[in-house]
Structure 1
Amino acid sequence: MIDWVTDHVGRYAIWLLLGAVVISAGNAISRYAFSASSNAMLEVQWYLYSAVFILGAGYTLLKNQHVRIDLVSNRISAKARNWVDVIGLAVFLIPVAVMIAWMSWPGVVDSYQMGEMSSNAGGLIRWPVRLLIPVGFWLLALQGFSELIKRLAFLTGHGPDSLEKEQEQHGIDLPHEGEAK
Protein backbone atom coordinates (compact mmCIF):
# COMPACT_ATOMS: atom_id res chain seq x y z
CA MET A 1 0.00 0.00 0.00
CA ILE A 2 2.84 2.39 0.86
CA ASP A 3 4.56 1.65 -2.45
CA TRP A 4 1.29 2.36 -4.29
CA VAL A 5 0.88 5.74 -2.57
CA THR A 6 4.53 6.64 -3.15
CA ASP A 7 4.34 5.62 -6.80
CA HIS A 8 1.25 7.74 -7.41
CA VAL A 9 2.56 10.78 -5.55
CA GLY A 10 5.84 10.53 -7.49
CA ARG A 11 4.13 10.13 -10.86
CA TYR A 12 1.91 13.14 -10.24
CA ALA A 13 4.72 15.24 -8.78
CA ILE A 14 6.72 14.75 -11.98
CA TRP A 15 4.06 16.74 -13.83
CA LEU A 16 4.68 19.72 -11.56
CA LEU A 17 8.06 20.01 -13.24
CA LEU A 18 6.34 20.68 -16.56
CA GLY A 19 4.35 23.43 -14.87
CA ALA A 20 7.55 24.97 -13.48
CA VAL A 21 9.20 24.88 -16.91
CA VAL A 22 6.18 26.43 -18.65
CA ILE A 23 5.95 29.19 -16.04
CA SER A 24 9.69 29.79 -16.24
CA ALA A 25 9.57 30.06 -20.03
CA GLY A 26 6.52 32.31 -19.90
CA ASN A 27 8.17 34.55 -17.35
CA ALA A 28 11.37 34.78 -19.44
CA ILE A 29 9.41 35.61 -22.60
CA SER A 30 7.37 38.18 -20.71
CA ARG A 31 10.48 39.75 -19.21
CA TYR A 32 12.51 39.98 -22.44
CA ALA A 33 9.74 40.57 -24.97
CA PHE A 34 7.50 42.89 -22.97
CA SER A 35 9.76 44.10 -20.13
CA ALA A 36 7.21 42.72 -17.68
CA SER A 37 7.83 40.15 -15.00
CA SER A 38 6.02 38.80 -11.99
CA ASN A 39 7.48 37.91 -8.61
CA ALA A 40 4.41 35.77 -7.99
CA MET A 41 5.15 33.71 -11.09
CA LEU A 42 8.79 33.33 -10.04
CA GLU A 43 7.64 32.11 -6.65
CA VAL A 44 5.09 29.69 -8.16
CA GLN A 45 7.94 28.29 -10.23
CA TRP A 46 10.07 27.85 -7.09
CA TYR A 47 7.16 26.31 -5.19
CA LEU A 48 6.55 23.79 -7.99
CA TYR A 49 10.22 22.89 -8.22
CA SER A 50 10.34 22.47 -4.43
CA ALA A 51 7.26 20.23 -4.56
CA VAL A 52 8.84 18.02 -7.24
CA PHE A 53 12.04 17.70 -5.24
CA ILE A 54 10.54 17.00 -1.83
CA LEU A 55 7.52 14.96 -2.89
CA GLY A 56 9.73 12.94 -5.23
CA ALA A 57 12.15 11.83 -2.51
CA GLY A 58 10.08 8.80 -1.51
CA TYR A 59 9.54 7.92 -5.18
CA THR A 60 13.29 8.05 -5.74
CA LEU A 61 13.79 5.67 -2.81
CA LEU A 62 11.05 3.35 -4.12
CA LYS A 63 12.74 3.16 -7.51
CA ASN A 64 16.17 2.69 -5.87
CA GLN A 65 17.52 5.73 -7.68
CA HIS A 66 18.84 7.52 -4.60
CA VAL A 67 22.50 8.25 -3.99
CA ARG A 68 24.40 5.09 -3.17
CA ILE A 69 28.09 4.32 -3.07
CA ASP A 70 27.98 1.90 -6.01
CA LEU A 71 31.70 1.25 -5.89
CA VAL A 72 31.19 -0.46 -2.54
CA SER A 73 27.60 -1.65 -3.05
CA ASN A 74 28.41 -3.53 -6.24
CA ARG A 75 31.25 -5.46 -4.63
CA ILE A 76 29.43 -6.93 -1.65
CA SER A 77 26.96 -9.79 -1.47
CA ALA A 78 23.20 -9.33 -1.70
CA LYS A 79 22.89 -10.15 1.99
CA ALA A 80 25.49 -7.54 2.95
CA ARG A 81 23.87 -4.91 0.69
CA ASN A 82 20.53 -5.52 2.35
CA TRP A 83 22.07 -5.34 5.85
CA VAL A 84 23.67 -2.02 4.93
CA ASP A 85 20.26 -0.77 3.83
CA VAL A 86 18.53 -2.08 6.96
CA ILE A 87 20.99 -0.20 9.16
CA GLY A 88 20.83 2.94 7.01
CA LEU A 89 17.04 2.93 6.92
CA ALA A 90 16.50 2.10 10.60
CA VAL A 91 19.24 4.24 12.10
CA PHE A 92 19.43 7.21 9.74
CA LEU A 93 16.73 7.70 7.12
CA ILE A 94 13.54 6.93 9.04
CA PRO A 95 14.48 8.70 12.32
CA VAL A 96 15.82 11.78 10.52
CA ALA A 97 12.83 12.00 8.17
CA VAL A 98 10.39 11.70 11.09
CA MET A 99 12.35 14.27 13.10
CA ILE A 100 12.37 16.79 10.23
CA ALA A 101 8.66 16.25 9.55
CA TRP A 102 7.81 16.62 13.23
CA MET A 103 10.00 19.66 13.80
CA SER A 104 8.82 21.47 10.67
CA TRP A 105 5.11 21.22 11.50
CA PRO A 106 5.02 24.14 14.01
CA GLY A 107 6.51 26.39 11.31
CA VAL A 108 3.65 25.46 8.97
CA VAL A 109 1.05 26.19 11.65
CA ASP A 110 2.68 29.51 12.58
CA SER A 111 2.96 30.52 8.92
CA TYR A 112 -0.71 29.71 8.33
CA GLN A 113 -1.95 31.42 11.50
CA MET A 114 -0.07 34.65 10.87
CA GLY A 115 -0.79 34.67 7.12
CA GLU A 116 2.92 34.78 6.33
CA MET A 117 3.64 36.33 2.94
CA SER A 118 6.76 36.51 0.87
CA SER A 119 8.77 39.66 1.46
CA ASN A 120 8.98 40.19 -2.32
CA ALA A 121 6.60 42.67 -3.92
CA GLY A 122 3.67 40.69 -5.30
CA GLY A 123 4.90 37.58 -3.52
CA LEU A 124 2.79 34.64 -2.40
CA ILE A 125 1.63 33.17 0.86
CA ARG A 126 4.25 30.92 2.42
CA TRP A 127 2.38 28.19 4.29
CA PRO A 128 1.74 25.98 1.21
CA VAL A 129 5.45 25.68 0.46
CA ARG A 130 6.22 25.19 4.14
CA LEU A 131 3.64 22.38 4.21
CA LEU A 132 5.67 20.50 1.61
CA ILE A 133 8.41 19.87 4.17
CA PRO A 134 6.48 17.77 6.72
CA VAL A 135 4.38 16.09 4.02
CA GLY A 136 7.43 15.19 1.93
CA PHE A 137 9.41 13.90 4.89
CA TRP A 138 6.47 11.85 6.24
CA LEU A 139 6.14 10.28 2.78
CA LEU A 140 9.88 9.60 2.73
CA ALA A 141 9.73 8.02 6.20
CA LEU A 142 6.81 5.84 5.14
CA GLN A 143 8.65 4.70 2.04
CA GLY A 144 11.72 4.06 4.16
CA PHE A 145 9.57 1.83 6.38
CA SER A 146 8.32 -0.04 3.30
CA GLU A 147 11.89 -0.54 2.08
CA LEU A 148 12.91 -1.73 5.55
CA ILE A 149 10.15 -4.36 5.45
CA LYS A 150 11.34 -5.53 2.01
CA ARG A 151 14.98 -5.78 3.12
CA LEU A 152 14.07 -7.69 6.28
CA ALA A 153 11.80 -10.01 4.28
CA PHE A 154 14.72 -10.84 1.99
CA LEU A 155 17.12 -11.36 4.88
CA THR A 156 14.72 -13.73 6.63
CA GLY A 157 13.95 -15.66 3.44
CA HIS A 158 10.41 -14.33 3.08
CA GLY A 159 10.83 -12.19 -0.02
CA PRO A 160 12.91 -11.44 -3.09
CA ASP A 161 15.96 -9.18 -3.15
CA SER A 162 14.43 -5.91 -4.37
CA LEU A 163 17.93 -4.48 -4.80
CA GLU A 164 18.96 -7.26 -7.22
CA LYS A 165 16.01 -6.49 -9.48
CA GLU A 166 17.21 -2.90 -9.79
CA GLN A 167 20.81 -3.96 -10.37
CA GLU A 168 19.76 -6.31 -13.19
CA GLN A 169 17.77 -3.54 -14.89
CA HIS A 170 20.93 -1.46 -15.07
CA GLY A 171 23.05 -4.31 -16.42
CA ILE A 172 25.24 -4.67 -13.34
CA ASP A 173 26.66 -8.15 -12.83
CA LEU A 174 26.86 -8.89 -9.13
CA PRO A 175 28.15 -11.91 -7.28
CA HIS A 176 25.42 -14.04 -5.73
CA GLU A 177 25.45 -15.27 -2.14
CA GLY A 178 28.57 -17.37 -1.49
CA GLU A 179 30.00 -16.65 -4.96
CA ALA A 180 33.32 -14.85 -5.38
CA LYS A 181 33.76 -12.16 -8.01
Structure 2
Amino acid sequence: MGPWLRLARLIDTLNERVGRTVYWLVLVTALLSAFTALIRYALHASSNAALELQWYLYALIFLLAAGYTLKHDGHVRIDVLFARLTPRAQAWIDLVGGLIMLLPMALIMVWLSWHSFALSFATREMSPDAGGLARWPIKLAIPVGFALLALQGIAEIIKRAAFLRGKIPDPRRTGPEIDQPAHLPGEVV
Protein backbone atom coordinates (compact mmCIF):
# COMPACT_ATOMS: atom_id res chain seq x y z
CA MET A 1 0.00 0.00 0.00
CA GLY A 2 2.99 2.30 0.56
CA PRO A 3 3.73 3.08 -3.12
CA TRP A 4 0.03 3.65 -3.78
CA LEU A 5 -0.21 6.11 -0.89
CA ARG A 6 2.87 7.93 -2.20
CA LEU A 7 1.13 8.19 -5.58
CA ALA A 8 -1.99 9.55 -3.84
CA ARG A 9 0.15 12.15 -2.03
CA LEU A 10 1.76 13.21 -5.32
CA ILE A 11 -1.64 13.64 -6.94
CA ASP A 12 -2.89 15.53 -3.86
CA THR A 13 0.13 17.85 -4.10
CA LEU A 14 -0.44 18.45 -7.83
CA ASN A 15 -4.11 19.33 -7.40
CA GLU A 16 -3.38 21.41 -4.30
CA ARG A 17 -0.88 23.51 -6.27
CA VAL A 18 -3.20 23.85 -9.26
CA GLY A 19 -6.09 24.80 -6.97
CA ARG A 20 -4.07 27.43 -5.12
CA THR A 21 -2.98 28.89 -8.45
CA VAL A 22 -6.58 28.99 -9.62
CA TYR A 23 -7.42 31.10 -6.55
CA TRP A 24 -5.59 33.93 -8.29
CA LEU A 25 -7.70 33.51 -11.41
CA VAL A 26 -10.73 34.42 -9.31
CA LEU A 27 -9.11 37.77 -8.47
CA VAL A 28 -8.02 38.34 -12.07
CA THR A 29 -11.56 37.54 -13.27
CA ALA A 30 -13.13 39.92 -10.76
CA LEU A 31 -10.74 42.72 -11.74
CA LEU A 32 -11.32 42.07 -15.44
CA SER A 33 -15.10 42.10 -14.90
CA ALA A 34 -14.87 45.43 -13.07
CA PHE A 35 -12.61 46.84 -15.79
CA THR A 36 -14.92 45.80 -18.64
CA ALA A 37 -17.94 47.22 -16.81
CA LEU A 38 -16.10 50.49 -16.15
CA ILE A 39 -15.05 50.81 -19.79
CA ARG A 40 -18.54 49.95 -21.02
CA TYR A 41 -20.38 52.43 -18.81
CA ALA A 42 -17.80 55.21 -18.48
CA LEU A 43 -16.41 55.25 -22.01
CA HIS A 44 -19.29 53.55 -23.86
CA ALA A 45 -16.82 51.12 -25.37
CA SER A 46 -16.45 47.37 -25.23
CA SER A 47 -14.01 44.67 -26.24
CA ASN A 48 -14.97 41.22 -27.45
CA ALA A 49 -11.53 39.98 -26.46
CA ALA A 50 -11.99 41.21 -22.87
CA LEU A 51 -15.45 39.61 -22.64
CA GLU A 52 -14.20 36.32 -24.06
CA LEU A 53 -11.20 36.37 -21.74
CA GLN A 54 -13.61 36.79 -18.85
CA TRP A 55 -15.56 33.70 -20.01
CA TYR A 56 -12.33 31.76 -20.50
CA LEU A 57 -11.18 32.60 -16.99
CA TYR A 58 -14.51 31.45 -15.52
CA ALA A 59 -14.14 28.19 -17.44
CA LEU A 60 -10.55 27.74 -16.25
CA ILE A 61 -11.58 28.28 -12.64
CA PHE A 62 -14.20 25.54 -12.76
CA LEU A 63 -12.30 23.09 -14.95
CA LEU A 64 -8.89 23.30 -13.33
CA ALA A 65 -10.21 23.40 -9.76
CA ALA A 66 -12.40 20.29 -10.08
CA GLY A 67 -9.64 17.99 -8.78
CA TYR A 68 -8.81 20.41 -5.98
CA THR A 69 -12.48 20.56 -5.02
CA LEU A 70 -12.71 16.75 -4.95
CA LYS A 71 -9.57 16.60 -2.79
CA HIS A 72 -11.25 18.91 -0.27
CA ASP A 73 -14.59 17.03 -0.46
CA GLY A 74 -16.27 20.16 -1.82
CA HIS A 75 -18.39 18.63 -4.56
CA VAL A 76 -22.14 18.51 -4.08
CA ARG A 77 -23.47 15.34 -2.47
CA ILE A 78 -26.80 14.28 -1.16
CA ASP A 79 -25.97 14.19 2.52
CA VAL A 80 -29.42 13.32 3.85
CA LEU A 81 -28.51 9.64 4.13
CA PHE A 82 -24.75 9.69 3.53
CA ALA A 83 -24.01 11.82 6.60
CA ARG A 84 -25.82 9.36 8.84
CA LEU A 85 -23.70 6.39 7.73
CA THR A 86 -20.58 5.19 9.49
CA PRO A 87 -17.27 6.42 8.08
CA ARG A 88 -16.59 2.88 6.80
CA ALA A 89 -19.89 2.83 4.90
CA GLN A 90 -19.12 6.30 3.54
CA ALA A 91 -15.68 5.10 2.42
CA TRP A 92 -17.26 2.14 0.61
CA ILE A 93 -19.69 4.45 -1.18
CA ASP A 94 -16.85 6.82 -2.16
CA LEU A 95 -14.69 3.90 -3.32
CA VAL A 96 -17.38 2.23 -5.43
CA GLY A 97 -18.69 5.56 -6.72
CA GLY A 98 -15.18 6.59 -7.72
CA LEU A 99 -14.57 3.34 -9.55
CA ILE A 100 -17.87 3.01 -11.41
CA MET A 101 -18.95 6.65 -11.84
CA LEU A 102 -16.22 9.24 -11.37
CA LEU A 103 -13.27 7.61 -13.16
CA PRO A 104 -15.20 6.37 -16.20
CA MET A 105 -16.97 9.74 -16.63
CA ALA A 106 -13.77 11.77 -16.26
CA LEU A 107 -11.79 9.53 -18.61
CA ILE A 108 -14.56 9.56 -21.22
CA MET A 109 -14.61 13.36 -21.04
CA VAL A 110 -10.83 13.50 -21.55
CA TRP A 111 -11.13 11.18 -24.54
CA LEU A 112 -14.11 12.96 -26.11
CA SER A 113 -12.80 16.50 -25.59
CA TRP A 114 -9.31 15.76 -26.88
CA HIS A 115 -10.53 15.47 -30.49
CA SER A 116 -12.27 18.84 -30.28
CA PHE A 117 -9.09 20.45 -28.94
CA ALA A 118 -6.86 18.76 -31.55
CA LEU A 119 -9.10 19.90 -34.41
CA SER A 120 -9.29 23.42 -33.00
CA PHE A 121 -5.51 23.54 -32.58
CA ALA A 122 -4.82 22.14 -36.07
CA THR A 123 -7.10 24.72 -37.70
CA ARG A 124 -6.04 27.54 -35.37
CA GLU A 125 -9.71 28.13 -34.59
CA MET A 126 -10.58 31.69 -33.68
CA SER A 127 -13.70 33.25 -32.24
CA PRO A 128 -16.12 34.33 -34.96
CA ASP A 129 -16.59 37.67 -33.16
CA ALA A 130 -14.55 40.68 -34.24
CA GLY A 131 -11.48 40.98 -32.05
CA GLY A 132 -12.20 37.61 -30.44
CA LEU A 133 -9.64 35.19 -29.03
CA ALA A 134 -8.22 31.88 -30.19
CA ARG A 135 -10.50 28.99 -29.20
CA TRP A 136 -7.96 26.17 -28.93
CA PRO A 137 -6.44 27.22 -25.57
CA ILE A 138 -9.77 27.03 -23.79
CA LYS A 139 -10.61 23.77 -25.54
CA LEU A 140 -7.34 22.36 -24.15
CA ALA A 141 -8.55 23.22 -20.64
CA ILE A 142 -11.40 20.70 -20.95
CA PRO A 143 -9.29 17.51 -21.23
CA VAL A 144 -6.72 18.93 -18.80
CA GLY A 145 -9.40 19.73 -16.21
CA PHE A 146 -11.00 16.29 -16.50
CA ALA A 147 -7.57 14.64 -16.37
CA LEU A 148 -6.86 16.44 -13.09
CA LEU A 149 -10.26 15.30 -11.81
CA ALA A 150 -9.54 11.70 -12.87
CA LEU A 151 -6.16 11.80 -11.16
CA GLN A 152 -7.73 13.09 -7.95
CA GLY A 153 -10.36 10.37 -8.27
CA ILE A 154 -7.55 7.81 -8.32
CA ALA A 155 -6.00 9.39 -5.22
CA GLU A 156 -9.32 9.34 -3.39
CA ILE A 157 -9.90 5.69 -4.32
CA ILE A 158 -6.43 4.81 -3.02
CA LYS A 159 -7.07 6.67 0.25
CA ARG A 160 -10.49 5.04 0.76
CA ALA A 161 -9.02 1.58 0.11
CA ALA A 162 -6.17 2.27 2.56
CA PHE A 163 -8.67 3.46 5.17
CA LEU A 164 -10.83 0.37 4.70
CA ARG A 165 -7.74 -1.83 5.12
CA GLY A 166 -6.87 0.03 8.35
CA LYS A 167 -3.68 1.57 6.95
CA ILE A 168 -4.63 5.25 7.42
CA PRO A 169 -7.21 7.21 9.42
CA ASP A 170 -10.41 8.32 7.71
CA PRO A 171 -9.29 10.71 4.97
CA ARG A 172 -12.58 12.64 5.16
CA ARG A 173 -12.40 13.62 8.83
CA THR A 174 -10.37 13.50 11.97
CA GLY A 175 -13.28 13.59 14.42
CA PRO A 176 -15.65 10.65 14.97
CA GLU A 177 -14.46 7.12 15.62
CA ILE A 178 -14.33 4.78 12.65
CA ASP A 179 -17.47 2.80 13.43
CA GLN A 180 -19.53 5.66 14.81
CA PRO A 181 -22.08 7.30 12.50
CA ALA A 182 -21.22 10.76 11.29
CA HIS A 183 -23.70 13.48 12.23
CA LEU A 184 -24.63 16.76 10.67
CA PRO A 185 -22.99 19.89 12.14
CA GLY A 186 -25.02 21.24 15.02
CA GLU A 187 -27.08 18.06 15.30
CA VAL A 188 -27.74 16.85 18.84
CA VAL A 189 -26.44 13.32 19.28
Global fold match (TM > 0.5) = yes
- Equivalences for residues 1-181 of structure 1 within 5 A: 1-165=10-174, 168=175, 176-177=178-179
Which whole-Å CA distance do the structure 2 matches of 1:18 and 1:122 have between them? 24
Unaligned runs of 5+ in 2: 1-9, 183-188
One-letter code aligned to 1:109: A
Instruction: Render the CA deviation track for 1:22-44: whole Å, top value 9, x for unaligned.
Output: 11110000000000110100000
SS at match of 1:7: helix
Q: Which runs of 5+ in 1 are unaligned?
A: 169-173
C-alpha distance in 2 between matches for 1:118 and 1:85 = 40
Distance 1:179 1:55 in 2: 33
The alpha carbon displacement at 1:70 in A equals 1.5
Equivalent-residue separation in structure 2 for 1:94 and 1:136 (angstroms): 13
Retained in 1: the 8 A contact 2:87–2:181? no
The CA deviation at 1:164 is 2.3
SS in 1 for 2:173: helix
User: How far off its partner does 1:71 sit?
Assistant: 1.4
In the aligned structure 2, how far is the partner of 1:179 from the partner of 1:19? 42
If the length of structure 2 is used for normalisation, what is the TM-score?
0.88
1:94, 1:7 → 2: CA distance?
19
Q: How many residues align?
A: 174
Q: Secondary structure at 2:126's aligned position in 1? A: coil
Distance 1:155 1:176, change over 3 A: closer
C-alpha RMSD of the superposition: 1.6
- The list of structure 1 runs, each at least 4 consecutive aligned residues, that deviate by more than 4 angstroms after superposition, is 178-181
TM-score norm. by structure 1 comes to 0.92
TM-superposed deviation, 1:175: 7.0
Query: 2 CA distance for matches of 1:26 and 1:66?
Result: 31
